[in-house]
Structure 1
């Protein structure tokens, strides 16, 4: 059997397929208006109409590559600067000493370590929608996982996978729940109690599955290498600053509306300060930062290339047609069944539209009137969106963050899909049960 294509080849192939689909799928569009209160561009319900415009040329296809990369410049910069920052901290010896001490404390408590790490990443996904940031942490997480005897899949599961579960079932994810509730005309953070209960159920099931897999697929532990038995004073300061930085950026995202640029600036400063504290010197710190860029450049480009896919479908005027085809038939079914089908439709839609925040802005104005018509609450409509769209980040090859994480870990997409599809369907089943329960109990 020939070697399965790598992440770069897969993304390029999907970009080409998207361009071909603009010639096959009928062109259509919804009318859009600007919301003066939120500042968002909203879709007008029942405004879909077929159109006939000139198709994208072959040159437009090629042009979408650099345009897609430019469109994700803020995330690419974050990945590069965050990667450079961690590379510097690693070269100071702070990470190896800190992880070595942590592994020593957790010796014989590997299952507890897995639960703690999964809980931390789930919480990060639930609160700030953490995802792309995992890319830069991946080399460190791999080292940590191997030192505990866990294979690569387990490590990706407890980090990236946990962030997806946390983001999908979050009561407060600012890029999913908050945007969707705003579009649905609901009070922000309303219905959080029910979401929190479902999140706890999903997390417990997720961790149990992860523990079972991790224990059945143990690998030989790799000893942590450290120059000193204990963490040096300088490295204690560096690790302390790392913790402080994470606290600051979390507060900034939750309370100060920080975006990727503020995060990039924070970690850039941390990297420079860490290099100087770690006695790398000015020149060596700069050289090490550049070396960190090199480690992350492939992952960063995957993020940009993935953006080209939705760019082509939008400018080819077929993304609205896909939305219309997926959600139009739902009005013929009962509220509970429609809610489950709505969740499944969001999973499918996430393939051509891998930004779940963009998916909320695109679909909520269409689905809210539909949910009112069929007797399903708007709150349940938001549930169907967040469970389907965000959980799809676990498997869709158009998600740049997933493909970047897989590329760094050396995991081919076909192996990941076979590995991830079962637990993803299991968690989606929890979402489906929650939607049916929400309809039954009149969740609003």
Structure 2
């Protein structure tokens, strides 16, 4: 079988991200941090312009703080200084330490499997078995990620797998965008078109006081339709790139690939078999522990770190060698995880200046006592906008559902409509808003502009489908 190789150097990475370029403003390779800091500056200006206000909040039966409908009131404005903005960057890194180190440990585990040759051996043998059926790689993988997102609510938990699928995609003749999209678009679509996602549907239906996981038939139809669309889109793009590499959105850029993997058919050594068992065990524990044991980011981070060390011992590496591999993986992922703290810092600035509730109040007031269809589509629009400022399904649900559910009652709509609007607005826009895309592109090692070239047509289709399903839901419920 043909042997595929790919590797990158530090210079490749810097060239791709725009370091050292002569152009003062290179839109094609705009640095992700420039985009993020621009968003932060816009948010800071909003904090200066918008009036400060807040909703009253009370604890629900689960002990979560939720807003009280019709309780919005203005408060004295506390204008944040420039120093406060930079102080909030520091606080953003502190508050996101859990997710930051989770990604670092997950990436270290995958990096260890790459260094000891397990990934190369597994992917090489899979490629050999597939033969001319490599086209199955995209749909099968995306279905798996979609189901994990739709049922167990996995999202950040799969970040560590992005480099693996980028490597596999490139080795099979595609590009890095295909590998990243398999994971990112796959899990995000499932997370948005959720079936039993406990972090979105479970919380939202609880806050809206509707039966848990009701409206399942409608959700199944939504999930199937969106899965068909995203699989078709990514598969079509992958085939186009394989046939003609100049059709890649990355064509003309210095391609970044985070690891070196050589794919060829080869026998699995004992260390590979033990490492594969460790990988399967880890995947199994992720699903089981999140569903049955209540594990989340901290526990899963500990699991990845433990399995990283265990696989290192299986590979007969010394402790010093294991630590060297850890440092190397941390260097590779640092650029990506740093974006998380900056984004959170901007959100803290909005919270401290008490304009976040003002944004929610204005959007909800805009809906008013409109026609039922206008109200349902307005809810969809509002949730998409609010998701730019409030990241995380549970946080968005607790901030908006106590407002949107009564609005649905006012418009004569079933509260399921408000839940569907929240479900769509929270999930699909994560593949579009820079606050989410910046993190993923940094992990993938590609320019955000290149990602948008790939994603904009698909997101346009998603928006149309969301509108259609909101209209259908309004007629059904």
The TM-score range, normalised by the shorter chain, is over 0.9
Q: Secondary structure at the match of 2:66?
A: strand
Matched with 2:65 is: 41
Matched, 1:438 2:473: yes
User: 1:116-265 alignment to 2 at 5 Å?
Assistant: 116-218=140-242, 225=262, 229-265=266-302
- Counterparts of 1:418 and 1:323, CA distance in 2: 30
TM-aligned CA distance change 1:386 to 1:24, over 3 Å: same
CA deviations over 1:230-250 (Å, ceiling 9, x no partner): 211221111111111111121
Give yes or no for contact 1:93–1:226 (8 Å, CA) kept in 2.
no
**Alpha-carbon deviation of 1:436?**
1.5
- Counterparts of 1:55 and 1:213, CA distance in 2: 47
- Counterparts of 1:224 and 1:58, CA distance in 2: 45
- Counterparts of 1:212 and 1:288, CA distance in 2: 37
**Alpha-carbon deviation of 1:283?**
1.8
Q: Secondary structure at the match of 2:262?
A: coil
**Alpha-carbon deviation of 1:226?**
5.5
Q: Secondary structure at the match of 2:58?
A: strand
Matched with 1:422 is: 457
Give yes or no for contact 2:149–2:197 (8 Å, CA) kept in 1.
yes
Matched with 2:254 is: none
CA deviations over 1:259-283 (Å, ceiling 9, x no partner): 1011011111111110000111222
**Alpha-carbon deviation of 1:257?**
1.2
Give yes or no for contact 1:93–1:235 (8 Å, CA) kept in 2.
yes
User: 1:24-423 alignment to 2 at 5 Å?
Assistant: 24-35=49-60, 37-218=61-242, 225=262, 229-399=266-436, 402-423=437-458
- Counterparts of 2:457 and 2:377, CA distance in 1: 18
- Counterparts of 2:135 and 2:364, CA distance in 1: 42
The normalised TM-score by structure 1 is 0.94
What stretches of structure 1 move > 4 A for 4+ residues in a row?
A: 219-224
TM-aligned CA distance change 1:227 to 1:113, over 3 Å: closer
**Alpha-carbon deviation of 1:219?**
6.3
CA deviations over 1:273-330 (Å, ceiling 9, x no partner): 1000011122211221222122212212111221112111111111111111112122
TM-aligned CA distance change 1:112 to 1:228, over 3 Å: closer
Give yes or no for contact 1:309–1:398 (8 Å, CA) kept in 2.
no
**Alpha-carbon deviation of 1:192?**
2.0
CA deviations over 1:148-193 (Å, ceiling 9, x no partner): 1112222222220111110000111122111111211122222222
- Counterparts of 1:219 and 1:349, CA distance in 2: 40
Give yes or no for contact 2:128–2:265 (8 Å, CA) kept in 1.
no
Give yes or no for contact 1:171–1:192 (8 Å, CA) kept in 2.
yes
Bigger mean CA deviation after superposition, 135-144 or 69-78: 135-144
Bigger mean CA deviation after superposition, 282-291 or 199-208: 282-291
Matched with 2:42 is: 17
**Alpha-carbon deviation of 1:64?**
0.5
- Counterparts of 1:128 and 1:293, CA distance in 2: 28
Give yes or no for contact 2:278–2:307 (8 Å, CA) kept in 1.
yes
Give yes or no for contact 2:154–2:191 (8 Å, CA) kept in 1.
yes
Matched with 1:3 is: 26
TM-aligned CA distance change 1:419 to 1:373, over 3 Å: same
CA deviations over 1:329-353 (Å, ceiling 9, x no partner): 2233222231122112211111122
**Unpaired segments ≥5 residues, structure 1:** none
TM-aligned CA distance change 1:73 to 1:362, over 3 Å: same
- Counterparts of 2:418 and 2:183, CA distance in 1: 28
- Counterparts of 2:406 and 2:432, CA distance in 1: 30
RMSD: 1.9
- Counterparts of 2:463 and 2:181, CA distance in 1: 16
Matched with 2:250 is: none
**Alpha-carbon deviation of 1:90?**
1.1
TM-aligned CA distance change 1:220 to 1:84, over 3 Å: farther
- Counterparts of 1:277 and 1:95, CA distance in 2: 15
**Alpha-carbon deviation of 1:111?**
1.8
- Counterparts of 1:89 and 1:265, CA distance in 2: 17
